[in-house]
Amino acid sequence: MKNPVLEAIRNRRSIRKYLPDQIKDAELKAILEAGAYAPSAHNEQPWHFTVIRDRQLLDRISEKSKELMAAEDTDWIKKMGRDGAFHVFYRAPAVVVVSMRKDAMSPLVDCSAAIENMLLAAESLEIGSCWIGLVRYYFSIKSELPLLNIPEGYEPCYAVTLGYKAQHPGKPLPRKKNAVSYIG
C-alpha cells in the first residue's frame, strides 16, 4: 500500500552526513510541532525541546561526550570516543535535545514517541535526521546542564540531529522476520 505517511516511515534512514546549511525556520517549526503531536500517557506531554544551532555549543557537547566515551570499557564506544573525526552529532547544523519531565507517568516512552514523530516529519520534508543516544554521556555531566536551558523538573534523555542530507543511504535495512503473530 502507498501513501505519504507510509512512504516516510519506509524511507527514513539515520543520516550521518549533513550539508552545513541551516534548515529553514518553517521546517524546524513543523518538525517540532510533529514532536508535540505525539501521543503521551494521560496526555501529559512531558517533553521539552531545546533547539541548539550554536556551533560552539554543539562541538563542546560532542567533545565532552567523546571524553567520557574514550574512557569506557566497551570497545566500540571507546574507539568512537578516541576517533578524532567522529562528531557525536555528525556536524548537523541543528540539534533538538529532548528532555523529559521526571515525575511524569511514562516520560521516556512519551519522549521516544515525540522523537519518532520528529524523525518522520523530517523525512517527509526531505530533511535528514538521526536519533542520538551517545549524547547521554554529556547529559551525565551535571555541571554542564545549565548550558541547555532545561526547565526545572526535567532531564535530558536523547537528541535528534537535523540538517539537509549529504548522503542518501538508500534502501531501508532488512526487517526481522517473525515479528508478528496473529490470533484470530
Pick the closest to residue 135 from 50, 53, 69 (CA basis): 69
Q: Give the contacts of 33 (CB within 8 A, at least 6 positions apart).
A: 121
Binding to ligand FMN (CB under 6 A) within 123-142 occurs at 130-134
Query: Which residue number, 49 or 131, has a Cβ lying nearer to ligand FMN?
Result: 131
* In the complex, minimum distance from the CB of residue 105 to ligand FMN, in angstroms, rounded to a whole number: 20
Q: How far is CA 171 from the centre of its chain?
A: 21
Query: Which residue number, 24 or 108, has a Cβ lying nearer to ligand FMN?
Result: 108
Query: Which residue number, 39 or 133, has a Cβ lying nearer to ligand FMN?
Result: 133
Contact 90, 18 (CB under 8 A): yes
| Residue 112: all three cell numbers together | 521516544
* In the complex, minimum distance from the CB of residue 159 to ligand FMN, in angstroms, rounded to a whole number: 8
- Assess 173 for contact with ligand FMN (CB under 6 A): yes
Q: How many residues bind ligand FMN (CB under 6 A)?
A: 9
* 14, 22, 50, 106: which one binds ligand FMN (CB under 6 A): 14
Rounded Cα distance, 125 and 44, in Å: 27
Rounded Cα distance, 167 and 19, in Å: 9
Contact 15, 168 (CB under 8 A): no
* In the complex, minimum distance from the CB of residue 28 to ligand FMN, in angstroms, rounded to a whole number: 20
Query: Which residue number, 170 or 184, has a Cβ lying nearer to ligand FMN?
Result: 170
Q: CA quadruple 22, 25, 28, 30: dihedral positive or negative?
A: negative
* In the complex, minimum distance from the CB of residue 52 to ligand FMN, in angstroms, rounded to a whole number: 16
Residues found near ligand FMN in the complex (CB under 6 A): 13-14, 16, 130-134, 173
